[in-house]
Amino acid sequence: ELGNHSFRHVKFAAMSAAQQWSEIMQTNQLLQRHDGRSVRWFRPPQGTLTPRMLLRLMLGKQPIAMWSYDSLDYQRRGVDAIVQRFQAKPVNDGDVVLLHDDDGETIAALEQLLALWRGQGYRFVALSEIP
Say if residues 6 and 23 touch (Cβ distance below 8 Å): yes
DSSP state of 70: E
Enumerate residues 6+ apart whose C-beta is below 8 A from 30. Answer: 7
23-82, pLDDT tens digit by residue? 999 999 999 999 998 889 999 998 988 898 899 999 989 999 999 999 999 999 999 999
Q: pLDDT exceeding 70 applies to what percent of the chain?
A: 100
- Tell me how far apart the alpha carbons of residues 85 and 72 are, in angstroms, rounded to a whole number: 8
**Residue 81 has what pLDDT?**
96
**Residue 6 has what pLDDT?**
93
111-129, pLDDT tens digit by residue? 999 999 999 999 999 888 8
Say if residues 105 and 82 touch (Cβ distance below 8 Å): yes
Say if residues 127 and 3 touch (Cβ distance below 8 Å): yes
pLDDT range class, residue 4, cuts 50, 70, 90: very high
